[in-house]
């Protein structure tokens, strides 16, 4: 039981740190990020939609916030569901942009987040419902 909780915790921290670091990197190197996004949008056929292209520059900030909430363990189930939707969209978008290596990374993240969703007790989180015996 404790080993499962530790696996959930480690997965949550790995994904959270990845999102925070990558979000910070893209926010600091924002012009480079925008250049990559424009390149990707030049290669896509299905996702060549104006609203998606308008919201794409917000991705580093979304990733940073999601990663921070995952690290802190606040509203883990809800944040994980949002992250799964976001990463699934990124996967499909990157496949359409012929960036298969990056899409594979997001597939791995989605699989890890599906494991995190199985953690109902979430004992290593800020919003955990802890019984008195769990504090030991």
Q: What is the reported pLDDT for 133? A: 44
Residues 56 and 46: their CA atoms lie apart, in Å, by: 15
User: Domain locations in the chain?
Assistant: 2-127
**DSSP 8-class letter at 136:** -
Is the pLDDT at 15 greater than 60, yes or no? Answer: yes
pLDDT over 90 percentage in the chain:
22
85-113 residue pLDDT tens: 989 988 988 888 888 998 899 999 899 88
Please list, residue by residue across 22-36, b when 16 or more beta carbons sit within 10 angstroms of its beta carbon and e when fewer do. bbeebeeeeeebeee
Q: Is 3 exposed, middle or buried (0-12, 13-18, 19+ CB in 10 A)?
A: exposed
């Amino acid at each position: 039981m404790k080993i499962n909780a530790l696996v959930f915790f480690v997965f949550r921290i790995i994904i959270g740190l990845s999102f925070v670091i990558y979000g910070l990197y893209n926010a600091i190197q924002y012009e480079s990020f925008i250049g990559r996004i424009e390149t990707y949008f030049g290669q896509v056929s299905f996702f060549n939609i104006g609203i998606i292209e308008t919201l794409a520059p917000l991705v580093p900030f979304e990733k940073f916030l999601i990663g921070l909430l995952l690290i802190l363990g606040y509203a883990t189930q809800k944040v994980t569901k949002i992250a799964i939707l976001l990463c699934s969209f990124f996967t499909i978008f990157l496949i359409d942009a012929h960036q298969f290596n990056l899409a594979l990374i997001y597939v791995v993240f989605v699989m890890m987040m599906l494991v995190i969703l199985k953690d109902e007790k979430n004992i290593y989180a800020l919003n955990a419902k802890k019984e008195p015996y769990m504090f030991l």
